Amino acid sequence: MQASPHLKRLEAESIFILREVASEFENPVLLYSIGKDSSVILHLARKAFFPAKPPFPLLHIDSTWEFRDMIEFRERYARQELGLNVIAYHNEDGVRDGINPFDHGASYTDIMRTQPLKRALTHFGFDAAIGGGRRDEEKSRAKERIFSFRDRNHRWDPRNQRPELWSLYNTWKATGESIRVFPISNWTELDVWQYILQERIPIVPLYFAKERPVVRRGNDLIVVDDERMRLEQHEKPVNMKVRFRTLGCYPVTGATESEAETIEDIVHEMLTTRSSERQGRAVDREEAAAMERKKKDGYF
């Protein structure tokens, strides 16, 4: 397939950003969520530093409620096949206290994702964290910088962000402060899929439609991924052919009914869809401002 000039530009821009991070920071890390955006960034990082390996480790913040397929993919592909340094980190206290998405609602994400992320960044002394955020995902991300400054408490202040001109990124910071970097800021969801197709990038099978045990909660289709899933009395999982557009903790990530079994099918679906990818995230739908508040607190 002929490479797209549009994707070539996006790819080059992302590679430039990744190389800036590696050159300007002492101890960068790639936040690896195992999703499609992370997979694209990982692929871009391999390209950026070829023939060398990416000069930073991968950090996966494991909420302990991930889909099993994600953990399996992380171990098989990132760790074994690519031979990369993968750090898996989770909140021990949260596990001990039995924090779960059923009982702890909004504070669950904070305790099992945001808090361990902040703790891991501090623990390992990472001064730059590369993430997969895209500006087209959500309104408050539309204003995010590519190099996004965080204070010593990892907080984001929307009123105090550095202006970003041309491709001259301000990477200066004091000890303890850090910068989050979003190399695929300018990519859309369609670009991501088109690129995955063009480059044949391996992704978690959850993105492909398959018969899966599903319960319907409101408008969400929740896949029962393991025995910890708490079912209401009237709920009985039924097999449906579903796939995911985004991945997160399985009890709060909605699947969509789909027949898309290949990347070609997914791209086809993307070209005709009328709903946004975040529709599947119960956590985002509450109110548009929710995301912004979470970001201020240090969520990615």
Partner 1 sequence: MSVAQEVYSQLAVHNSKDLLRFITCGNVDDGKSTLIGRLLLEAGAIYDDQIAALQNDSNKYGTTGGRIDTALLLDGLEDERQQGITIDVAYRYFTTQRRKFILADSPGHEQFTRNMATAASNADVAIVLIDVTKGVSVQTRRHAYIATLLGVKQIVLAVNKMDLVQYQSDVFQRIVDEFRQFATALGRVDAYAIPLSALEGDNVTVLSGNMPWYQGETLLGYLDNVRIEDRLRHASLRFPIQRVSRPDANFRGFSGTICSGQLQCGDEVVVLPARSKARIKSIVTMDGELNRAETHDAITVTLDRELNLARGDMLVPGDAEPRITTEFQATVVWMSEQPLVIEKRYWLKHTTRKTPCEIKTLHHRTDVNSLARLSAPVLRLNEIGFCTLQTTEPVVCDDYQTNRTTGSFILVDRITHETVAAGLIASSAEESQPGYWSSASALTHAKRQQSLVRMEDREAQYGQKPGTILITGLSCSGKTTVALQLEKKLFEAGKIVVVLDGQWLRMGISRDLAFSAEERSENLRRGAEIAKMLNDSGQICIAAFVAPSAWVRQKTRELIGRDRFLHIHLSTHVEVCRQRDSTGQYQAADRGEIQNFPGVTYSYEAPDDADLYFDTSLQSPEAIAEEVYQRLVTKWF
Residues near partner 1 (CB under 8 A): 1-9, 11-12, 15-16, 19-20, 22-23, 46-53, 135-136, 139-143, 158-159, 161-168, 170, 172-174, 185-186, 188, 190, 194, 197, 262, 264-265, 267-268, 271, 273-276, 279, 288-289, 292-293
Q: How far is the CB of 1 from partner 1 (least distance, A)?
A: 7
Q: What's the CA dihedral at 258, 259, 264, 269 to 10 degrees?
A: -40
Strand arrangement, sheet containing 178-181? 86-89, 58-61, 28-31, 128-130, 178-181, 147-150
Joined together, the tokens standing for residue 43 give 């692929």
Output 55 or 213, the one with its CB closest to partner 1: 55
Q: Which CB, 143 or 228, lies closer to partner 1?
A: 143
CA distance 128 to 164: 17
Instruction: Supply the minimum distance, in Å, between the C-beta of residue 236 and partner 1.
Output: 28
Write down the least CB distance from residue 204 to partner 1, Å: 21
Q: Which is nearer to partner 1, 192 or 214 (CB)?
A: 192
Longest CA–CA separation in the chain, Å: 57
Question: Taking each helix axis from N to C terminus, what angle separates 263-272 and 189-199, rounded to the nearest 10 degrees?
Answer: 160
Q: State the nearest-atom distance from the C-beta of 93 to partner 1, in Å.
A: 31
| CB nearer partner 1, residue 67 or residue 169 | 169
Between residues 216 and 236, which has the closer beta carbon with respect to partner 1? 216
Residue 53 Cα to chain centre, angstroms: 21
CB of 15 to partner 1, least distance (A): 4
Q: Which helix (H) or strand (E) holds 43?
A: helix 36-49
